[in-house]
Structure 1
Amino acid sequence: MKTFCCERCHARVFFENVSCNACEAELGFVPGELAMASFEVDARGGLKRLSKTPRPGLRRCANHEAPVLCNWMVDADDAQPQCVSCRTTQVRPSLATAANRAYWFRIEVAKRQLAYSLLSWGLPLPSKAEDPQHGVAFQFLEQVDPAKTVLTGHDAGLITLNIAEADDARREQVRAQMREPYRTLLGHLRHEIGHYYWDRLIRDTPWLGEFRALFGDERTDYAKALKKHYASPIADWQQRFVSAYASCHPWEDWAECWAHYMHLQDGLETAASWGLQLDHAVPGGMPVRAEVIPHDADDLQRRVVRSWLPVSQFINAMSRSLGGRDSYPFVVPDAVLDKLAFIHRVIGAGVRGEVAMTFGSAREPEAESVECPTP
């Protein structure tokens, strides 16, 4: 995540802010500019942008009010009432309880961060209403019947998230029970969107053969592979996989590596945007300056080792000094570096138009998000 400042007073503002703490200007993130805009509110409640250069008209996302408090803007001539992130939400949880309202807020905050990264890379993120066959939709479900488990997952562009994942205490309890080193709300979304982009970038494309050489044959029976994994996980998974779960099936290996790629690229963008330089990354060595890895770079493995690993070590050292767990509890073997480099090349070739991505152009009227029915 890059840094932002108020257009009026130039104070630092953050991605989630709805107003400037210094000058009280209204704030709104403009997806088309990947920038934060500042506004004054006129007597009629209209917005006047505080920019020194003329800009196209903007309006607030329809989810600007509580509980979502979305701070993303919509082009004034856009027929859709919601921003490009909110319009992908197809089913929201019941808002009858304060807890559910808080969960939905947290989930949408994480989804906007996810969308920011994808849009900044130039990857399409159409809603199902915009691209019925190839678009993406999210449903955020509450488990109300103990006999009907709500599983987080992906199916043909529909991503399901159990809203209990937005409960920090419950999520940490599950993480400990599953003996996972890392489990976050944003991590879930990154993993599931990885499945979505496998369909858009790999399935039925020239990449499929190289994918199978690196990750394995995705035609392996998924249900049997998952059952085998939980019954007898691979003991030496650390040598070839980024997580134990990645070892269960090629699809999960891809999704875990995709999430990890987003993880390190977002981390590097944040560190670079703040101007992070580590003068003592290697005792007696040269200073290391955090740098984003551009999508036309052909040496991702070297750049990860040179830039990301020192930054991640610094982050862990800070976490420990503040009494927390390691924020980056991963070891990245060469086999995983090769998989990350493949993902890097696939994204770069797709956004440059060198290899066709699978998206459609059909558009239908946008459906508003609906409440999940209670059984």
Structure 2
Amino acid sequence: MKPYSCPNCGRLNHFEVRVCPNCSFTLGFDPASDRFLFLGDNATTWRDADGTEQDVVVCQNNNEFAVCNWLVPAVGDQPLCLACRHNRTIPDLTGPTVPERWAKIEAAKRRLFHTLLHLNLPIETEAEAEANGTAPGLTFDFLYDPQGEATGTVQITTGHEEGLITLNLIEADDVQRERMRTSLGEPYRTILGHFRHEVGHYYWARLIEGTAEVEAFRALFGDERISYEDAKSQHYGDGTGGWSDDFVSSYATMHPWEDFAETFAHLLHIIDALATIDGFGMRMTKWPGMDEQPAVDFDPYHADTHALVSEWGPFAFAENSINRSMGQPDLYPFHLSDKIVAKLDYINRLLQRAGQGDIAPREQPQPVAA
């Protein structure tokens, strides 16, 4: 995403900021206007960069738990922000380090929602989806796993089912997450990556399942009606799933659902990273084989796939080179083949249509003959 400046002093800040390090004013993000506001001297009025008062208040999760920096309209009956209102279950905060871990998870979730809002995708709560007849709604369970913490054997599985995304708080522990990444042979494992993957499952259910769109999906990703449990056993059991240039990751080879979710996550990685590069006005020297120097001179949230991939390649190489200069592993250790780009293009076009309200209707099930 683009960098956001403090509306009081102009300093650039990270998206998670709550207090400006330069002027010490309290800051809050207003998703309705896509900007930060600051709390005036009286500590009761939120103002923009022009000093104009804004009729907003802090999210209830900030008042109660100090885990959110988003704002909500002062008028209305919804005390939670656009991201927090989707929570169904928050963790048991009496556990050691749980509040700190939950705060990390919520920060990553707000970055996810920032992207979804900029893509203009449908983001209904469970109640909204039921009222609109567009089930499933999007909900979250964030659960503390004390037995998994004590034994090292995870008892709560991170995943998605019918609009509900469950996340084990152990993922917010850097040591535990790295241990799981290594044991599973993954080149990349982050909280934000989890969110992008699991919400990919949600949008498969929201935009593809039970619609005519499913045939276009199957043509690229395969038939999702094959047994998921058998595919999972094969992937983790005999290892014959393998990995090829047709898939963006090893996990994507397991089942068409996982291929879609992994590719969906990578599309969001690319879009958000390019938006950040654009926000800082970054440019590169001429790249071999390109007529013009790599630059993000377009809106990544609404760009065609060719533009995204063409610019992402050089910048990803540069980011990897910077990481290596710091003794760190590649930031983006993946290769985008033509087959993967075709899958990215399918998802990108699907999301662009959905952002414009063009969503395939659910097909009525055919009656079973007597």
1:184 corresponds to: 190
Q: In 2, Cα distance between the equivalents of 1:190 and 1:101?
A: 22
Call closer, same or farther: CA 1:70–1:82 in 2, change over 3 Å.
Answer: same
Q: How does 1:141-220 map to 2 (within 5 A)?
A: 141-145=143-147, 149-220=155-226
Q: In 1, Cα distance between the equivalents of 2:20 and 2:333?
A: 35
Contact 2:122 2:354 (8 Å CA) reproduced: no
Letter in 1 for 2:285: D
Secondary structure of 2:166's match? Answer: strand
Secondary structure of 2:39's match? Answer: strand
CA deviations over 1:175-219 (Å, ceiling 9, x no partner) = 111111011111011100110111111112232111000001111
Call closer, same or farther: CA 1:308–1:284 in 2, change over 3 Å.
Answer: closer
Contact 2:157 2:167 (8 Å CA) reproduced: yes
Q: In 2, Cα distance between the equivalents of 1:90 and 1:264?
A: 29
Q: Percent identity?
A: 38
Secondary structure of 2:274's match? Answer: helix
Contact 2:274 2:300 (8 Å CA) reproduced: no
- How much does 1:280 deviate? 4.5
Q: How does 1:1-375 map to 2 (within 5 A)?
A: 1-42=1-42, 45-52=43-50, 56-65=54-63, 67-132=65-130, 133-145=135-147, 149-234=155-240, 237-282=243-288, 286-292=292-298, 294=300, 297-298=303-304, 300=305, 302-356=306-360
Judge which range, 266-275 or 145-154, deviates more. Answer: 145-154
- How much does 1:136 deviate? 1.0
Unpaired runs of 5+ in structure 2? 363-370
CA deviations over 1:58-106 (Å, ceiling 9, x no partner) = 0000111475431100011131111111111111111113411111010
- How much does 1:130 deviate? 3.3
Q: In 2, Cα distance between the equivalents of 1:246 and 1:55?
A: 48
Runs (4+) of structure 1 exceeding 6 A deviation are: none
Letter in 1 for 2:50: K
CA deviations over 1:105-135 (Å, ceiling 9, x no partner) = 1000000011110011111222224334431
Call closer, same or farther: CA 1:350–1:305 in 2, change over 3 Å.
Answer: closer
TM-score (normalised: structure 2): 0.89
Secondary structure of 1:269's match? Answer: helix
Q: In 2, Cα distance between the equivalents of 1:66 and 1:168?
A: 26
Higher RCO (C-alpha under 8 Å, 6+ residues apart): 1
Indicate the structure with greater helix content.
Answer: 2
Secondary structure of 1:238's match? Answer: coil
Judge which range, 315-324 or 55-64, deviates more. Answer: 55-64
Unpaired runs of 5+ in structure 1? 359-375
